[in-house]
Structures are given as C-alpha cells and as structure tokens.
Structure 1
Amino acid sequence: MKFRLLFASTVIPSFTKFKTPPREYIPFLQAVLLLNNQEIEEYFRHRGVIPNKSLTEFVSADALYDMNNTLFRSIFADTDNILPPELQNNNQCLNSLRRIGLEHQVNCSIYVECAKEIELQIKQGINPSVVKERAKNLVRYLYENINALRFNSEQLNKIMRIKFVPTERNIRNQFYKKLKEVSLFESFENLCSRKYMNICWTQCPLFDENVELTSSFNEHYPGIDYPSADNIIEHWFVIEKMAKGKSWNRNCKKELKGVINEIYQVMNKISEHKDYELLIRCKIDQPEKRIFLNGDDPFDEQNWVAGRELIFGIQEDLKEGMYKVKDNLKEYKELLMLAGASEIAPPRPPSPNPIFDQKDKLFISLQNKLEIQNNKYHDVIFIIGKEKIGANKYVLSAASTYFDRMFYSGLSESTKDKPEIIIRDTRPDIFRVLLRWLYGKSFEEAIKSVLHNIPAGQSYETYYLTFLVDLLKATDYYGVELKDEVEDIIINSSHIGVTNVCDILKRAKDSDAKRLKDFCEQYIESNRELIIRI
C-alpha cells in the first residue's frame, strides 16, 4: 500500500509539472483511481491533480462538478468545471473522485457557487436564452428544496444579492406604462412579485412569471418579494403625475382608480407601524404633494389634493385648501393624518340621560292597580266564594280571547258597567295567579305570595302539586297559554310518584293536558307492578 502511495506521489508530479494536462495522463489517472487506495485518495484530496474537461489545467476535485447531477449538468455542461468524459463516464473512477471531493450533491455552499456561475455566464455574454433557462432551473431547485437547504445568514445574504434571477420584461397589458427598465437578471433583494405589480411597477423589477416565489419559499423567507415603502411612495408619485398628464385614456378610469386605491390601502397599512412614520411624513406631508384623489375622476386635476388640505369631520368644503374628506378616502385615515390632514375635535358629550322605559312603567302600574282592591280602576268584579277580586276588562280582553269574548261580544257581562261575575270550581289563590299572569307577570312571580301561605299540616310538595294541577284545570278552562308552562312544570317535577300518578292522570284527562296524560300513562306502564301493590 505504501508503495502505491509512493508511486503515485512521485509519478503524479511528473505530469502536473506541465501547464496543461497531457492526454496520456488520463489513462494513468484512471489506473490510479481504480486502485481505490484510501491513502492515495487522501493525497489527491487537497492537490490540483485532476484535469478539467478541456485539459487546460489541473484543479482539485472539489473545483469540478459531477454531470450525473441534473442541476450541475444544466449549469456547467458548457464550462470547464467538469471532468473529461473518460473520467465522467467511468463509474469506478467517478466513485473514487466523489470520495476525493468531486461535487456531486447540492448543499447551501454549492448552491451559492451555482448562482455565481450563472452571474458569471451573464457577464461572459453567453446566449441569454440559454442562461435564462439555466437560471430558471436553479431558482426552481431552490423553491423545490427550500426545506432541505438551510442557509445561514451569510449564505442567504449572498443568495439575495447575486443577480441570477430572471426578470419580467414584457408585460402584455398596455395599461402598465413606464415599466421599470431592468436587465434580464436581477437579485432577489431587488425583485418584486407580479402580484404586487400595481403598487410598484415603475420602481421595481418583477420576477419572471416562471420563477414567481412559491408559498413554501415565502413561509421560510417572508417579505422577500414585497416592495419597500420608499419604492411604493415613489411609484405613487409617478402614477399621480401620469394621471394628471393624461397618460391613459378614459377607458382606463376604472383600472387606474383600482391602482390608486390599492396604493392607498397598502400605504395606510404601513402607516400603522411607527417605524415608517418619519419616512412617510417626510415624503408626503408637503403642500406641493397633491397626491390624494378626493373624488371620483382621476383625470380631473381638481380632484387631486394635498394631505394637509383635507379635514375629517366637516360636512362640506370650507374654502380653497380646506376640503372635507370624501367617502373614497375616509378609510385611509392613518395615512392621511401622516400626510398632514386635520380632524375636527368636538368636545366629549355629557353622559346620556337615563333611558325611560314606558313598558316597565306600564307593567308596574298595572300590577299595582290589580293588587289594590276596591279601587276606581276596576270595572269588573269576580266573586269566588266569599272573596271579591277586582280587575280591568280592557286589560283582560287584551290578554285573553276568553275574556275578550266575555266583555266585548254581546254577552250579558258586556252590557253592564261594572259586572260581577261568579267563578265556580276555582280557588281564589288560583284565580289570582291567573290574573297576575294575564297582567304580565311571569309564572314564578305570580305564584310567590301563594306558596308562602301553605295550610298547616300539609307538606310543601303535596300542596304545590295540588296547586299546579288545579291551576292546570283553570288555564284549560280559560284557554290561556299558561297551560303549556304549567304542564311542563308538572312533568319535569319530582312530585309525581306511584301513589299519586293515577289521580294526576285523571286530572290530566279532565284538563285535556295530552302531554301530561301520555307521561302518566308511560309512568304507570313502567311501574305497573308497584302501583298494583299499593
């Protein structure tokens, strides 16, 4: 093994002393590489002993690129940065050369070198269409492999500054006049995406449509394709001058207004950031900068005003140079204020007066008048046993069709000024709850006083259930919607049991309470054996 290394280290210099590699060196080098000797390969690693493609010089292996790599083949095929075909086409030699240092894989450093090669080919005047295709391949490779290529800050800065990215030079839409004149290739840091064209086309070169940034690349390096605030402002100035100079005909009015509004929207958003406040003020807060379209027609020069001529909060123009902000500009307040616009500052209004709720007043008044018996507001008296309960016919007729028919459809009760009506089969407390509910109280409020007067010797549960069942019958008789609520309360209570379910079923049938009836029947069916035993 040492003999082989000694042989190589003594014979190789006899060839490399020549300025250019002789042709007979190729088979000799092949034979040496085929030895697969680790010591020889290590000896070769840092020495210029590998001939380039045209046999014009000896270089180290890491200065050459493997043509089996698609990207390298695209970029370096016509250069001397590749192997002679005798070495490139010999797989065993190729494997040895890869171990020695032949570049055969793309990494961050190699990608930078590829970008530099494109830039060099541009300067060398190689056919632009050929170089452009190579550049497209290189940029696409970056987009497709962005997750694998992890550039450090130094490498990324180099990539951003190398002019190897194809640009767009032919915008077919004739609206886009005064397109920024650029070379065929630009750096990432100077290019803008076509989607931002409306806010920068006169100032920034655009990406060729075939190499627009992908969403994946944007996620890794956001904002690279976005124009600077300074470029947007300068573009804005150009658009304003072009509009006043009639660079477009009136058929372009809608499109031009769209561009102007897009500039305003973007600049208004930028204005929200304190870092840009000074730049924006310096650029646009000047009386001669009449760059705001305060009206509908961009071709009417009278519609263009300076920011400091605009005033928020006035209803009409005050005089020359003091204009109200029209609707099309109102949403750009942040931007306008930085441009010198003013705003009317009215004093802070006093605390508002309490809101008077007539409905609440009416409700409380009705309830009070119902509870006070023997008063002038009662024009009907209900007699229940020994008790008399007064109420108002108009209120009852408004709340119940039953009472409306009673008092206003020609029945005997409607012919008397203050009729007295005898109520049977209903307890006074039940009827009072019914009246309170008709007068507007909730069920819970209507029964409060009733539940506080439980007869001695009777449990709350028994009294409450009996009360509900009796009330259910009354609501059925008088046809009021309270019936549904009472029925639900009985069903959902815990008071129905095996001892009383049969009685409640009978009462449900008497009150035509179908859902309660069905519930009791299901209860009985589910607990039949226990109920029979009672």
Structure 2
Amino acid sequence: LMQYARRYRLRLLGGVAAPLDNPKDFKGRMYSFISLPDTTNLPVHLNGTWAQGSDRAMLLIEKNDIPDLDHLKLNWNRHILLNFLPKLHCKLLLEAFKLKINDTISKFWPFPSTSNPKYAVEYGFKVLKHMFQNENILINDGSIENNVNNRVEIFFKHLSIQRIEELRTLLLPKYFLGMVTSDDELKSLVRLFPIWEHYSNSDSGKLLKPASCGFLLHSGIRWYKTRTSISFICYSPYDTISTFVGLNVPYRDTNSYTFEDVEFPRECNESYVYFLFSVLVDNRVVQGLRDRRCFPNSYTKCLKNITDLFDPNNHVFRTVFGGNGNTDVFLHSGLLERAGILSSIGFNNTVNQSAFNKCADKIEELQNELEPPTDLIYRGFTLVDHLYKNINVFNLESIRRVPIFPIAKSLGKPHDLYYHHNQNFGCLKDVILPQYRDVAWSQMPLIAENVIPPPHVIQKHPSFGKPNVSTVVKHLRFLYHVLRINDEWKNSWAEIFKHNVFEVYKWLEEESLKEDIGLTIYIRSNDPLFLNFNMDQDPFNRDNWVTANDLVLNRELGEEKYVDPRLAKYPTMLKNAGVKEIKPPNFEIRISQHDQSNINRLRSFEFLLDQSSPLNDITFSVNGENIKTSRYMLASSSKFFHRKFTADPTSPITITVGDIQPNSMRILLRYLYSQDIDDAIQNKNSINIRNNRVVHDINRSSNLSLYKDLLKLADDYELDHLKEQMEFRISRLIKMSNATTMKTFAETLRAKQLKQYCDHYIRDNSGL
C-alpha cells in the first residue's frame, strides 16, 4: 500500500463528522474534500483521501471477482475505512462525551441504518473494537478499574434496546457473523457484549447478558427454573444457534442440566410440562427420573411417581379407573407422546402383569368404599375380559387373592335359602364355575355368567374356578348337618338334595381316579357322610347315612356293611375315604394248554347228537337220563377212558354218574369232542361249533353249580386242563359267604389251586 500511495502521491488523511442536532433525514456520505456519490447510511460523514476512478464512485465495492478490478485501489480505500477512520470515529465519540451530548452513543452509532452497504457494517465493528481496546474513551475519571469488561459494561449501559436489537441482528449467520468470527480479537470482544437474552428465574423476564457467561441447551430442550448460577441463552429463531456456536458458546449436557441445574417444582405448571416433555428425549434423563416423584397427572397439580400413572388412551385403564377425568392416575396429556420411552421406567401404558395387579387392587379398593361407583361391575367385567383374552401373558397366582371376579348374586330356589354374598366380587381362590355349583355352592360364590372363562382359559389353567377337596367335603358336611334337617328342603326339594349328595360323590370319584386326594384327611372314619340307603329310600333319614367304617365293598346283599349299588358306583372315592374292600387274593390259577386240533369236530358232534347211531356204544346214565357216546371218541380224547377201554374190552356199556346234572355231562362230552368249553356251554344241544356264538359271562354267579359239576367230572376222568379251567372260574365267584365251603369242596376234589386261592382269600379279607 505504501508503494501504491507513493506512486499516486496519496497521503493517509481523513475525518469523521456529524451534525449535533442529528436530523431524521440525515444520511451519511463519502467525501474526498467534496461530496462523492457513495452513500454509507451511517449517522456520520466519512472523509478520506480515497483512490478514485473517473466516475468518483464505487470506492468500496464488496465483490472481489469483478473483471478488471483494481485491487490495489480497493485495498487502499479499505485501509482508510477499516483501519484509519474507526479511530477518528472514536475521537468523535470522546468529544461528544466531553460536550455531554445526550444519548451520544446512539446518535453517533457506527453502524448503517440498514444492513447495507456491508462495508459500512464492517466499519462499525472496527469502531467498536477500537473503542473497547482504547483506555481513554469510555473511562477516564479513575472511578472504576479501566479494563475491557468495564468499558463494555459502560458502553452498553448507554445503549438503547433498539440499538442492541440492531446489533444482535447484525450478528445473525446470514449477515456478518463470518466477519466477526474471522477476527479473533473482535470475536473475543463480541462475546462480552451483553446483548443476548438469558433465561431468568425472576418475574421481570429475560435478562441481557454476554455470550461468554452463558450455556446453550440442545435443540428442543426447554428451559425451566434453575437453582444454580449457570445462565442459559435464549435463541430464537432457530437458525441463530449457529451464531452462538460461532462465538464458542458451550452446550450444557441435558442430563447435567436436568439434575444439577433445574429446580424441580412441588406442583405442576404448564412450563414444567413443556420442560419435562423436552428432556424426555434423553434416555439418561428418563432413567434418572425413575424413582422421582416428578410426573404430572391430568387432573391435579400434584406430582407422582411414573409407576403410579396410567395411559388414558388404554380402554382397560380408562374403564377401571374411571375415564370421566376426575382422577389423578392418568399421565398429563402433554406427555403422552413420550409414553413409549416412559414405559421403560414403569409407566403403565400397556396392561402387563404389574399394571393388571394395580387395576385389580383398584377394583378391590372401589368395592370397599361406602358408595361404590354404579358401573363397578362393568369395570370388573372389562378387567376380567382382558385377562381372558391375554391369558398367556399373566400369572394368575399373583392375583388369586384379589377380588376382581363378578359373582352371581342369586342361584334361585332352593339354593338362595343359604346362598348369601354381600360383595359383588370374589377372589379367584374363592369363586367356582357354574359346572361345580352342585358340589360347592354352600361354600363358595359362583362366578357371574357374563365372566365365565372361555375354553382356552380352562385348557391353560384347569384349576380355574375349581373347588378343592376340602371345600367339597365341607359342602358335603353342610348337606348332612344343615340341609338334611331342614324341613323346607325335606318337604319340597328332596330330589335336588339327593342329586347334590351324589354329585359330590361323583366329583370325588373323578378326582380320586386322577390322584390320591387323601380323603381320610378330611373325612374321619366315624363321620356319617355316606348315603347308603340301608334302611329305606329317604335321603333325610339319619340311619341311611353311614361312616367309612360301616362299609365294605363287594359285600353281598344282606351281608353286614353291604354297599348300596348307587353308592358302590364310586369305589375309588370310597376306598380313598378309608372304606375296606373284599378283593381277590394275589394268587394265579394256572391253566395248561389243551390241544384237540386233530379231531374232526363237526362229524364228531353229528355222531354225538345222533343217539340212535350204531357208533354210540357207550351210555352214561345221569340222574335217570341216558346219554350215548362213542367209546372210540372217549378213548381218543381222554387218557382215562383210553386206559379203561383198552384194559378191559368187556367193560360195561353203561356208566352210571351220580350227583351231576345231565346238561353238565353233555357239556363235558362236547368238550371231549374237542369243542371249546364256552362253546360247549352255549351249544350243548346244537351241532354248531362257533357260529352264532353268544358271549358267555364266566363270572355270573348262576354258573357256580355248573362249574362245580364240571370240576367233579374233570377230577373223576382225570381231565387236568378242564379241572384247571373250572378252578379258575370258581375262584372268580368266591365270596366271603362261600369261601370256607368252597375251600372244603376243593379239598374233596383235590383241587389244590382252588384250595390255595380260598386260603389266600380268607386270610386277606379276614376282619372285614
């Protein structure tokens, strides 16, 4: 620049001038001894030895890329504008201070009235920079320490709000922020300007403070009353954030801001809701608020723990807690958009196990009120319906003792004489399903019909609404001790009473078949709880009710301790209750194999039944009736007859048999002619072998005489296979009434297996 000045004989001269009266239509211009075309819009005129062109205009053009631009001339002019004249402007201000001109700084404000021309704005910042770096302009009386901070403070005390706003606007990114931040000294000074709005705890509003003493909140984070000395800058509109970034204003960590700076209120207000909504985007903040009583509800100003608040948009919550708005359990509507992240710290936005338990507790609480809500039953129904629909996600054990299940208030006659329940709800452990009514209605309320669980619930939880053994036995005691002596039941409801009794027995039988239910724990051996009809058919007759000691299963009619067939239908239940049983011994009668496959049975039966056949040369005389047969068939099928007929060919043609029925002999002969014993019994007068066979019940007691006859014949004729079969069949018909007699009979016929069976039977069932 010095070479340029010498070349064109330029000297660094200039001046700054302004009218003292500051007329409104004043517009600062450029001068070089005389007026130039360029207008600066400053409140002062700028005079200088500008390097000029032929048109004496465009001394300080703002673009550097214009063709044929004389950069040396431009740099000379900028040097005058930005390095020389700002010092003169400061002297102008100093002289104005000496003259005590009112509002000196605003009158001689070093910035243009508009944002153009830009070089005039840059000029203004250079003036401020020189002013604050000069110790003699703003402080010259020694009253306070003369440093940059104090000079800045004095300057801005004399500055109007309008000028502050103008200066703040000039620092927006789209204007001159880059100009400031490129000059480190200027940027340091601007950071000291108290022109930025800071949040304030006082009611007087926001305060103007420097950027150097403030922090930024991250985008979207709302300010709330603080308890620390840290100051936070307000920035609006949104794009001014880059201004503070350019001025090196630090961000305050959201988590630290929330828990170190913010003063949490005791009651909710609108500003607090906005603040809380904004910081809940930070997961660290969310987790830190887990145990704080700091969340607003939708009805009162009280703050609550998040675990005590519910989502009003959920149908179950809205129904159970009452959706009319006059309850403090719902989260403030201003925070519902944060329901998802709040659920991670216990907010009840879905009906999980914890929320369900709280709903159940609410139902219990409401029914204990002096005046429960009129829709309480519907609330309970809604909760139970949700339970059924989502049964796979709930643990029923945790709610077994909470009364949430609506119960049936009436069972109709005659049950209502004793079915009384004041409460509207029952616990899961205390209610029964309608299918168990007859076995427990006196002990437990029935679940209401509109909340009967669907099949998939029962399939997953088979014990749902099912009474236990103790309850059913208590109901049986109630039937015996209370209803049995009730005249109205006796006169009008005898069949229902009897039905109840046997439904109990049926239920206990079914449970006993599944497992040992230990009835002896609940029914003592001397408890007369078994309706046996051993006196008459009156279920109310005390003498028809007996104890377990008074019964023995498999006794015969007429015998002591005989069990009536209607009661005997439940043997497992009776045995589980301690009733004794006559049972066959653990003794097996073995039957050897009998092979007669080499005999042509059909032809044999034809000869046997044709009593006039010349081949039938042997006659059995049985109780006066003659039955003919062939000695050859007898000899071929029996070692006894083979030995008899071959040893003495002249043996008698007639064989007399005593104490045997003729049909028994016919059956024996068919057996010897190779027919199965059961077929022989069924077809004793037919030539059929197996056609049209009728099933023969070997355990029918009427067959005992036949079996005894066949056992005698088998013993006489050494037919071991038949003898073993008859021993087995007779053993199936052994009873306490005939066991001793049959033992003697077996001994007479040398039926060892039958005799041993009788011994075991008598021994095992002695004392019954």
Q: State if a TM-score over 0.5 links the two structures.
A: yes
3-state DSSP of counterpart to 1:65:
coil
What letter is aligned with 1:132?
A: I
Paired position in structure 2 for 1:10: 226
What letter is aligned with 2:372?
A: N
The answer as to whether partners of 2:440 and 2:475 remain within 8 angstroms in 1 is yes
Q: Is 1:38–2:281 an aligned residue pair? A: yes
Distance in 1 (alpha carbons) for counterparts of 2:277 and 2:553: 84
In structure 2, relative to structure 1, the CA distance for the partners of 1:58 and 1:272 (3 Å cut) is same
Q: CA RMSD in A?
A: 4.0
Offset of 1:179 from its aligned partner?
Answer: 2.3
In structure 2, relative to structure 1, the CA distance for the partners of 1:128 and 1:324 (3 Å cut) is farther
3-state DSSP of counterpart to 1:38:
coil
Listed one character per residue, the Cα deviations across residues 60-109 of structure 1 (whole Å, up to 9, x for unaligned) are 444321211111111223421114xxx52x6xx42135434453222222
Paired position in structure 2 for 1:331: 569
Offset of 1:361 from its aligned partner?
Answer: 6.8
Distance in 2 (alpha carbons) for counterparts of 1:440 and 1:132: 75
In structure 2, relative to structure 1, the CA distance for the partners of 1:355 and 1:127 (3 Å cut) is same
Q: Is 1:294–2:533 an aligned residue pair? A: yes
What letter is aligned with 2:462?
A: P
Distance in 1 (alpha carbons) for counterparts of 2:414 and 2:310: 45
Distance in 2 (alpha carbons) for counterparts of 1:62 and 1:231: 38
State the TM-score, normalized to the length of structure 2: 0.41
Offset of 1:144 from its aligned partner?
Answer: 1.4
The answer as to whether partners of 2:387 and 2:394 remain within 8 angstroms in 1 is no
Distance in 1 (alpha carbons) for counterparts of 2:385 and 2:442: 26
Q: Is 1:203–2:443 an aligned residue pair? A: yes
Offset of 1:249 from its aligned partner?
Answer: 3.5
Greater per-residue helix proportion: 1
Distance in 1 (alpha carbons) for counterparts of 2:376 and 2:594: 77
Distance in 2 (alpha carbons) for counterparts of 1:288 and 1:129: 47
Paired position in structure 2 for 1:168: 408
Paired position in structure 1 for 2:759: none
In structure 2, relative to structure 1, the CA distance for the partners of 1:9 and 1:281 (3 Å cut) is same
Listed one character per residue, the Cα deviations across residues 330-349 of structure 1 (whole Å, up to 9, x for unaligned) are 11112223444333456779
For residues 487-502 of structure 1, the aligned pairs below 5 Å read: none
3-state DSSP of counterpart to 1:336:
helix
Offset of 1:276 from its aligned partner?
Answer: 2.2
Listed one character per residue, the Cα deviations across residues 5-59 of structure 1 (whole Å, up to 9, x for unaligned) are 58347288877443x33xxx22x24543675872399358434333223324112
The answer as to whether partners of 1:175 and 1:252 remain within 8 angstroms in 2 is no
Listed one character per residue, the Cα deviations across residues 150-188 of structure 1 (whole Å, up to 9, x for unaligned) are 44xxxx432222222222222223245422646322221
Distance in 2 (alpha carbons) for counterparts of 1:288 and 1:63: 53
Paired position in structure 2 for 1:72: 317
Offset of 1:141 from its aligned partner?
Answer: 0.8
Listed one character per residue, the Cα deviations across residues 178-237 of structure 1 (whole Å, up to 9, x for unaligned) are 226463222212221121011011112221222222212122222121101011111111
In structure 2, relative to structure 1, the CA distance for the partners of 1:283 and 1:67 (3 Å cut) is closer
What letter is aligned with 1:186?
A: G
Distance in 1 (alpha carbons) for counterparts of 2:428 and 2:304: 32
Offset of 1:281 from its aligned partner?
Answer: 1.5
Paired position in structure 1 for 2:368: 123
State the TM-score, normalized to the length of structure 1: 0.57
In structure 2, relative to structure 1, the CA distance for the partners of 1:72 and 1:126 (3 Å cut) is farther
Distance in 2 (alpha carbons) for counterparts of 1:174 and 1:216: 33
The answer as to whether partners of 2:484 and 2:490 remain within 8 angstroms in 1 is no
The answer as to whether partners of 1:71 and 1:138 remain within 8 angstroms in 2 is yes
For residues 332-351 of structure 1, the aligned pairs below 5 Å read: 332-345=570-583
3-state DSSP of counterpart to 2:517:
helix
Distance in 1 (alpha carbons) for counterparts of 2:470 and 2:224: 62
Paired position in structure 2 for 1:132: 377
Paired position in structure 1 for 2:65: none
Listed one character per residue, the Cα deviations across residues 265-308 of structure 1 (whole Å, up to 9, x for unaligned) are 1112333455422xx11432422424333364312333222222
For residues 415-454 of structure 1, the aligned pairs below 5 Å read: none
The answer as to whether partners of 1:202 and 1:238 remain within 8 angstroms in 2 is yes
Distance in 1 (alpha carbons) for counterparts of 2:280 and 2:547: 79
In structure 2, relative to structure 1, the CA distance for the partners of 1:103 and 1:315 (3 Å cut) is closer
The answer as to whether partners of 2:299 and 2:328 remain within 8 angstroms in 1 is yes
Distance in 2 (alpha carbons) for counterparts of 1:34 and 1:188: 41
The answer as to whether partners of 2:437 and 2:446 remain within 8 angstroms in 1 is yes
Paired position in structure 2 for 1:59: 304
Distance in 1 (alpha carbons) for counterparts of 2:365 and 2:352: 20
Percent identical among aligned pairs is 21
> Structure 1 residue aligned with 2:358, among 106, 110, 113?
113
How many pairs does the alignment contain?
A: 354
Paired position in structure 1 for 2:455: 215
The answer as to whether partners of 2:477 and 2:529 remain within 8 angstroms in 1 is no
> Structure 1 residue aligned with 2:503, among 262, 272, 276?
262
The answer as to whether partners of 1:308 and 1:339 remain within 8 angstroms in 2 is no
Q: Which has the larger radius of gyration?
A: 2
